[in-house]
Amino acid sequence: MVVVCRALASLVGFVLLAALAIAGLAVAAFSLGGDDGGWSLAGLARLIGLPELSDTVGDLLDGFQADGGVDVVAALSGIGALLLAVALLVGALVARRERLLVFSRDSEGSLSARRRALAHAVEALAEQPRDVSAARAKLRPHRRRSGGRLRLRFDHARTADGDKLEGTVRDRIASLVEATSLRVRVRDRVPRRGGRVR
């Protein structure tokens, strides 16, 4: 969710900066002229239709203040704008958290590894047996204490013995994960279609 908010904030920030730069350039250029001629700030306002926009917005705001029932479209738009603002604030202000798996932490120091790097290493080790066609590892570090959960799923040929292969895969990744306080869960799967075994 935060990733989406960050992407949205980046996109909106980029678009707004570009718009602000263009607007600033236009205002600066039209400021060179004087009086009420075409090449002036008043001329720029007329050129982009500010008086008409003011009238339109005025009518819209008058409509909001008018007596009667709640305008559903306007209410939903307002709620949407609020949600968008909250998402942009989250995207802009929430810092990206480094997802580290902490192996151990004591007075001597700590040992940690980036989650994705370790998951890729586990996948590479799990794919070493000949009958394994693909492996996918998901690592979830504990938020406060050391260790975490590792879920490893590997694809294998229909003819291969899944249980035996699971033992082999566990042996392969053991050296990398045995020192960690990881809870390892390994599942095997036979791909339905299109799976290839090296």
Partner 1 sequence: MIPAASQTSTERVRLARLAEATLIASARVVATAGPDGRWVTADAGRPIDGVVAVAEPSGRVEIGLHADAVWPVDSLEALAEHLREQFRNAAAAAGLGGALGSIAVCFHDMVEPVAYPEPA
Which of 8, 46, 88, 112 lies at the binding interface for partner 1 (CB under 8 A)? 112
Encoded one letter per residue, x for contact with partner 1 by CB under 8 A and - for no contact, window 120-149 reads xx--x-------------------------
Which of 117, 149, 183, 185 lies at the binding interface for partner 1 (CB under 8 A)? 117
E-strand stretches of the chain:
100-106, 109-114, 132-141, 148-156, 182-189
> How many Cβ atoms sit within 10 Å of the Cβ of residue 97?
8
If one asks whether residue 168 binds partner 1 (CB under 8 A), the answer comes out as: no
Which of 8, 26, 111, 134 lies at the binding interface for partner 1 (CB under 8 A)? 111
Angle at 72 between CA 70 and CA 74, to 5 degrees: 90
Q: In this structure, what DSSP letter does residue 137 have?
A: E
Which of 88, 92, 100, 184 lies at the binding interface for partner 1 (CB under 8 A)? 100
Which of 37, 107, 159, 196 lies at the binding interface for partner 1 (CB under 8 A)? 107
If one asks whether residue 26 binds partner 1 (CB under 8 A), the answer comes out as: no
- On whether the CB atoms of residues 186 and 170 are closer than 8 A, the answer is yes
Query: How long, in residues, is the chain?
Result: 198
Structure-token match 């392969």, residue found: 172
Q: Choose the binding region for partner 1 from 11-19, 109-117, 129-137, 164-172 (rule: CB under 8 A).
A: 109-117
If one asks whether residue 85 binds partner 1 (CB under 8 A), the answer comes out as: no
- On whether the CB atoms of residues 149 and 139 are closer than 8 A, the answer is yes
Which of 110, 138, 145, 187 lies at the binding interface for partner 1 (CB under 8 A)? 110
What is the β-pairing status of strands 182-189 and 148-156? Answer: parallel
Residue 145 CA to residue 182 CA, distance in Å, equals 11
Give the footprint of partner 1 on this chain (CB under 8 A): 100, 103-104, 107-114, 117-118, 120-121, 124, 175-176, 178-180
